[in-house]
Amino acid sequence: MKNSRQIGFATRAIHVGQEPDPLTGAVTVPIYPTSTYVQQGIGEHKGYEYSRVSNPTRTRLEENLAALEGGLAARVFASGMAAINAVTTLLKSGDHVICGNDLYGGVPRLFDQVWADFGLEFSYVDTSEAGHVERSMRKNTRMVYVETPTNPLMRLSDIRALAAICRRRKTELIVDNTFMSPYFQQPLALGADMVVHSTTKFLNGHSDGLGGVVVCSKPEQAEQLAFLQKAAGAILSPFECWLVLRGVKTLAARMEQHDRSGRIVARFLAEHKKVKKVLYPGLPDHPQYELAKQQMSGFGAMITFETGSLNNAKKMLKKVHVCSLGDSLVGVEARRDARQSELPMAWCVSQWASRMSRTLSMI
């Protein structure tokens, strides 16, 4: 679709990359479950050679997600962790990475237990204070990696401030935008160099597929990551690409409802006498409430709260009726329960075992 930046977000989500199929007129993108493509002669083809390299369903999803994040190109991978791993492979032995000190646990596991053995160095700092990042810069720092808000403590980093530091120090800023989705936060417009997502979460939104994406702001990043899809092969299957294309069509509507429900649930929890603390950027007592209003256009549905003890957390979980306890978040099954008018959203509680004694994240 031409001039996609000039049309609204919801329209882009439904139409960019999702044009009717020219062959049949089908209004949904076809799933191309093919490993290979016939060639007219050696090396003569219609742009597709082998599905590890490229696949038409994947191309459409990559066009769509690039348009939603305002990026130059997107590359999709088999999971969020595969996408983060792909970004890490752009580094070289001896490079240093500054990371947030509150990240989804799989990320430090990948960095410390896999990549550190290949000569990469990682420092974990509180990136919510831009000065900490500046002071942690070394000559060999090549990347700053943050989640904002973080999983699970819902801390924010000032993307614009970090981007300015990174530009000065010739370092790339990577933002995991999973918790906000491009609907509420646009890190590339704020100066980030690349955005990653676990598409497993809001972008797919239906708890029926894993996936990850890297959205690039520069042609060389897109080229390197396309090469990596071909070389390492951790690509998203055509069927799962189609599931995400299906999911993003309702992203705008879902995010609006998530946000409405998130605010109500956060206020309910904040007033509850058994809840010790609520971490939600939409509550005025969140330490970065002002920053949240500046760099996000909504507060979303991720809420962390403290029950005071592991025992209390376990007791509470036993009493929750509609939501399911499980590892993941933000599927559509976190839906309104008509019987609980004071809690318009059922909760899908995600458990981070190591922190469960203090905090529970839920939507």
Ligand X SMILES: Cc1ncc(COP(=O)(O)O)c(C=O)c1O
Q: Is 104 a catalytic residue?
A: yes
Q: How far is the CB of 270 from ligand X (least distance, A)?
A: 23
Could you say which of 12, 32, 48, 104 is catalytic?
104
d(CA 70, CA 211): 20
Encoded tokens for 144:
């700053």
**Which residue, 48 or 358, is less far from ligand X as judged by CB?**
358
Q: Is 52 a catalytic residue?
A: yes
Nearest Cα to Cα of residue 151 among 326, 302, 330, 311: 302
Residue at shortest CB range from ligand X:
80
**Which residue, 209 or 238, is less far from ligand X as judged by CB?**
209
CB 66 within 8 A of CB 57: no
Angle subtended by helix axes 106-113 and 80-88, to nearest 10:
40
Q: How far apart are the first and last CA of the chain?
A: 34
Q: What residue type is assigned to position 219 of the chain?
A: P
* Cβ neighbours of residue 25 closer than 8 Å, sequence gap 6 or more: none
**Which residue, 212 or 331, is less far from ligand X as judged by CB?**
212
Could you say which of 176, 193, 254, 280 is catalytic?
176
CB burial of 125-145 (b: ≥16 within 10 Å; e: otherwise) equals bebbebeebbebbeeebbbbb
Q: How far is the CB of 347 from ligand X (least distance, A)?
A: 17
CB 278 within 8 A of CB 271: no
Q: Is 259 a catalytic residue?
A: no
Encoded tokens for 121:
């160095």
* Cβ neighbours of residue 239 closer than 8 Å, sequence gap 6 or more: 31, 33, 209
Q: How far is the CB of 110 from ligand X (least distance, A)?
A: 10
**Which residue, 103 or 190, is less far from ligand X as judged by CB?**
103
Could you say which of 60, 75, 155, 201 is catalytic?
201
Could you say which of 37, 52, 246, 337 is catalytic?
52
**Which residue, 69 or 176, is less far from ligand X as judged by CB?**
176
Nearest Cα to Cα of residue 149 among 280, 276, 305: 280
Encoded tokens for 221:
């990043």
Encoded tokens for 180:
């906000």
DSSP 8-state code for residue 235: B
Q: How far is the CB of 175 from ligand X (least distance, A)?
A: 11
State the residues that interact with ligand X by CB under 6 A.
79-81, 104, 106, 147, 151, 176, 178-179, 198, 200, 210, 212
**Residue 275 backbone phi and psi in degrees, to 5:** -95, 125
**Which residue, 56 or 182, is less far from ligand X as judged by CB?**
182
Q: How far is the CB of 79 from ligand X (least distance, A)?
A: 3
- Which active-site residues does the annotation give? 52, 104, 176, 201
